[in-house]
Amino acid sequence: MNEKNSRAEGGREDPSGRPPFSFRRNLIWILLLLLLTAGVTVLLNRCAGLTLRGFLAALRRIELPFILCAVLALLGYVFCEGRAMAAVGAAIGAPMGPVRSTTVASTELFFSAITPSATGGQPAAAFYMTRGGIPLSGATVILINNTMHYMLTLVVMGAAAFALNASFVFSLSPLLRILIAVGFLLNLLAFLVCLLLLRRQEIIRKICLPLIRFFSRIRLIRHREKAEEKLEKTLAEYRECQRMIHRTPAAQVKTFLWNLAQRLCSFSIAYFVYRAFGYAAHSLSEVLGLQTFSALAVNGLPLPGGTGAAEFVFLELYRDYYPPHQAAEAMLLTRAISFYCIFFFCGLVSVAYYLYFLKKERNGKQI
């Protein structure tokens, strides 16, 4: 992942083995997210007739108990993410209690939300874990292992959803079918690459070293030695992860189940919103299937939080679930809870935790 002796935020050398991290750099992605959100709002107003007055009127008619269930599912989503990482941490001697694991999970989810294809989540989580005393090697193992299971759960749920709703998938627009297929293949490929890194590292080395040399010749890679060194460090991290997996099969089962619970919490928010609008014709399993397809369709797109794509995929998938005038309102409420509330909640937790450990470090204490 990241080199041990790297530059911390502000360009200072960090000799403690912490991964590089910069709040300043991530402000750019926050601004991009806000611009995308504003653009999507304008498009929804023109294409779907969504207005603030209509949305507020819809909110006055919804059933609040189901919204409360959606909020609880949101909190469960963050909590399950933390416990999935804690299951791995406990197995390698880096335990995290519920509060700390939820805090680390909040930082990962927040920075995943604001960066394209969720690329900022893992460096942020590694930064916070190492600040709390977990060695960088341990944080790397935790994140690699958790990411593998996160991808695996979506692949498993995607295969199950397609098996149960194949006719529905074929009724979708060609573009959406392509996005779902590409998202499924990308997740499957990423999972298989992780397995290959764990079990057949020599194959990866034989493939990557010639590629690094070729890209170095054509000037796409400027520092060949650094690229080769980074490859070797990555392979070493995966070797440690492989040893941990072989030693802790029970932890693997726990991590998978926590990731599965996390996916179910996230996807169930759309069902509770559906019920809050007073509808009950479709079951929870049907909505979970649609949300699985939505996650697959948006997953591979390099957009912060999938903003833009997620809204229009929702409108396409749920076209038979809501009347035309209500679909955009339901979509906005679903996204408000499942993404923007998580964004703000996890952002506040991340900032509070950052200020907390800065205070501790000034006092010479470890978190």
Which stretch of DSSP H or E encloses residue 336?
A: none
Report yes or no on 20 lying in a domain.
no
pLDDT at 25: 57
Report yes or no on 127 lying in a domain.
yes
Tokens of 132: 């709390």
Is the model's pLDDT at 51 over the cut of 90? no
pLDDT band at 365 (very low <50, low <70, confident <90, very high): low
pLDDT (average), residues 197-222 = 80
pLDDT (average), residues 327-338 = 85
Report yes or no on 6 lying in a domain.
no
pLDDT (average), residues 292-321 = 80
Q: What is the pLDDT of residues 62-71, one digit of tens each?
A: 899 999 999 9
pLDDT at 44: 59
Look over the chain and give the mean of its residue pLDDT values, rounded to a whole number.
80
Report yes or no on 43 lying in a domain.
no
Which residue has tokens 């939080």? 305
Report yes or no on 354 lying in a domain.
yes
Is the model's pLDDT at 326 over the cut of 70? yes
Q: What is the pLDDT of residues 258-288, one digit of tens each?
A: 999 999 999 999 999 999 999 999 999 999 9
Report yes or no on 165 lying in a domain.
yes
3 state DSSP class of 353: helix
pLDDT at 15: 37
pLDDT (average), residues 104-112 = 87
Across 29-43, 87-101, 324-338, least confident range? 29-43
- CB 260 within 8 Å of CB 276: no
Report yes or no on 37 lying in a domain.
no
Q: What is the pLDDT of residues 219-257, one digit of tens each?
A: 778 888 888 888 888 777 777 777 777 777 888 899 999
Across 126-130, 279-283, 303-307, least confident range? 303-307
Q: What is the pTM of this model?
A: 0.78
pLDDT at 79: 95
Is the model's pLDDT at 122 over the cut of 90? no
pLDDT at 17: 45
Is the model's pLDDT at 110 over the cut of 90? no
Q: What is the pLDDT of residues 136-170, one digit of tens each?
A: 778 888 888 888 899 999 999 999 999 998 999 99
Cα separation, 163 vs 145, in Å, equals 27
Is the model's pLDDT at 308 over the cut of 90? no
The residue ranking higher by pLDDT, 188 or 324, is 188
Q: Which domain range does residue 265 map to?
A: 62-362
pLDDT (average), residues 2-23 = 41
Q: What is the pLDDT of residues 88-103, one digit of tens each?
A: 888 888 889 999 899 9
Across 25-29, 130-134, 205-209, least confident range? 25-29
Is the model's pLDDT at 1 over the cut of 60? no
The CA-CA-CA angle for residues 200, 158, 336, to 5°, reads 115
Cα separation, 357 vs 228, in Å, equals 35
Q: What is the pLDDT of residues 74-87, one digit of tens each?
A: 999 999 999 999 99
Across 53-57, 140-144, 277-281, 331-335, least confident range? 53-57
Which residue has tokens 């408000």? 336
Report yes or no on 5 lying in a domain.
no
pLDDT at 259: 95
> For the chain, how many structural domains are there in total?
1
DSSP code per residue over 123-168: HHHHHHHHHTT--HHHHHHHHHHHHHHHHHHHHHHHHHHHHHSHHH
pLDDT > 70 in the chain, percent: 79
- CB 89 within 8 Å of CB 134: yes
